[in-house]
């Protein structure tokens, strides 16, 4: 498994582009992205569990019923959610992209992100989609990545190279997500592409299985968005024998998918609105995987723990508190907690009780940009990781002024 450049264009046959079309007032911000496969691709997606869903998700879900897609169009600056004409606009977006590309509208994935409850004017999209299609390029991943960003500060794109049956395959992705991040299916907007040959059924199995351990274990602020969606397109141009069942090739594909998704999860958490630190909670010694997941995610979701990490305060009692209300089956008298970073490690709790530790060392450990909260439950062999960020003054400022 090798990290490579190229993002969503790393895989054979994929091109991408991003432009400013006029949805966002700031002309320096791109706001319309396009991803295209030169051949139809197997496709799968997961969607937000929020009952309030963006119109693009409803349209995309219908389009992917046959397990095929060839393009993705996404705008930023407006979520196209809670609008009476939302679905009609989303359908029109797919038709505009299809006409510009010469493909079926049903083979277009549609996505939007931004402010909820404001009508999306399709005119700027209609005017820009032709030039956008002409701008498609094998080097276009960065432009597309920029075009889907809202409050994001950092671009999030990655790709890996791996081998299936002697054939070189690639899988890459781009993501947006900085706030309103607390998924229960997948999260934010994530677009994945691969040239590996894999059936739509196995692609769905892979994606649904992996998000439970990646995007479902990521949280910035406890808010599940209305527009969360993760999609993956597999065009088969690598030429490997198609994966149609579990086996060694499927496991290799799952490893590639997990590598990309974990990287994107960490990037999203680190880029949380106003964040200064990436927090990773690793739970070991759980009696089963569900227990480990519940415990790890509860810790990274705790506002008090997040605030303590911002203040570089080794207040381990907040970690135990989060574990206690997580719903996980655990024996408090067996819990251990350590804080770790590039600056070292400090044990703060053993067997559910505090142990003497150096506040000076703890401060040094928590001053780093990436913090691990290591929890052991002492009850089994299962483990899980979750990703989050600290809670800062800037988060309140960003969201207090988000619409205005």
Domain boundary assignment for the chain: 2-270, 278-400
pLDDT value for 181: 63
Q: Which tens digit of pLDDT belongs to each residue from 148-200? A: 998 888 999 999 999 999 999 999 999 998 766 676 655 589 999 999 999 99
Taking the C-alpha atoms of residue 377 and residue 379, their distance in angstroms, rounded to an integer, is: 6
Burial 317-332 (b: 16+ CB within 10 A, else e): ebbbbbbeebebebee
Higher per-residue pLDDT: 240 or 273: 240
Rounded average pLDDT over 212-240: 88
Tell me which CATH code domain 2-270 carries.
Answer: 3.60.70.12
Query: Of the listed 113, 187, 259, 376, which one is catalytic?
Result: 187
What is the CATH T-level fold of the domain 278-400, as seen in this structure?
Ubiquitin-like (UB roll) (3.10.20)
pTM of the prediction? 0.91
- Residue 187 designated active-site: yes
Interval 85-113 mean pLDDT: 97
Over pLDDT 90: what percentage of the chain?
A: 83
According to the model, what pLDDT value does residue 102 have?
Answer: 98
Model confidence band, residue 53 (pLDDT cutoffs 50, 70, 90): confident
* Average pLDDT for the chain: 94
Output the six-digit token pair for 157. 């794109």
Q: Residue 319 pLDDT more than 80?
A: yes
pLDDT at 225: 76
15-41 confidence digits (pLDDT tens): 999 999 999 988 889 999 999 999 999
pLDDT digits (tens, 9 = 90+) for 261-295: 999 999 988 887 788 999 999 999 999 999 999 99
pLDDT at position 180 is: 62
Task: Please report the pLDDT score of residue 220 as a whole number.
Answer: 79
Per-residue pLDDT at 201 exceeds 90: yes
């Amino acid at each position: 498994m090798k990290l490579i450049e190229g993002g969503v264009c790393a895989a054979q046959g994929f091109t991408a582009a991003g432009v400013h079309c006029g949805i966002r007032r700031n002309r320096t911000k791109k706001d319309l992205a396009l991803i295209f496969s030169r051949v139809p691709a197997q496709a799968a997606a997961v969607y937000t569990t929020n009952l309030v869903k963006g119109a693009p998700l409803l349209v995309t879900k219908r389009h992917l019923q046959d397990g095929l897609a060839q393009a993705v169009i996404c705008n930023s600056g407006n979520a196209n959610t809670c609008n009476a004409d939302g679905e009609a606009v989303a359908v029109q977006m797919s038709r505009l992209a299809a006409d510009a590309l010469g493909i079926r509208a049903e083979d277009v994935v549609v996505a939007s992100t931004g402010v909820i409850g404001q009508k999306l004017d399709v005119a700027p999209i209609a005017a820009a989609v032709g030039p956008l299609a002409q701008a498609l390029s094998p080097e276009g991943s960065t432009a597309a990545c920029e075009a889907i960003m809202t409050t994001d500060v950092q671009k999030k794109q990655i790709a890996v190279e791996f081998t299936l049956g002697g054939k070189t395959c690639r899988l890459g992705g781009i993501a947006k997500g900085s706030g309103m991040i607390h998924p229960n299916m997948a999260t934010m907007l994530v677009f994945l592409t691969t040239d590996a040959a894999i059936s739509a059924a196995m692609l769905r199995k892979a994606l649904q299985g992996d998000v439970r351990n990646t995007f479902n274990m990521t949280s910035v602020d406890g808010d599940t968005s209305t527009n969360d969606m993760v999609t993956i397109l597999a065009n088969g141009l690598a030429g490997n024998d198609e994966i149609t069942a579990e086996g060694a090739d499927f496991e290799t594909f799952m490893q590639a998918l997990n590598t990309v998704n974990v990287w994107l999860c960490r990037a999203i958490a680190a880029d949380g609105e106003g964040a200064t630190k990436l927090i990773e909670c690793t739970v070991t010694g759980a009696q089963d995987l569900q227990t480990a997941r519940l415990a790890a995610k509860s810790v990274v979701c705790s506002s008090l723990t997040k605030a303590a990490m911002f203040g570089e305060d080794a207040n381990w009692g907040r970690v135990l508190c989060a574990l206690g209300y997580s719903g996980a089956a655990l024996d408090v008298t067996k819990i251990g907690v350590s804080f770790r970073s590039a600056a070292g490690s400090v044990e703060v709790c053993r067997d559910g009780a505090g142990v003497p530790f150096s506040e000076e060392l703890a401060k040094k450990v928590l001053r780093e940009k990436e913090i691990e909260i290591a929890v052991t439950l002492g009850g089994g062999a299962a483990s899980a990781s979750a990703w989050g960020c600290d809670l800062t003054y800037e988060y309140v400022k960003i969201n207090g002024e988000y619409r205005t």
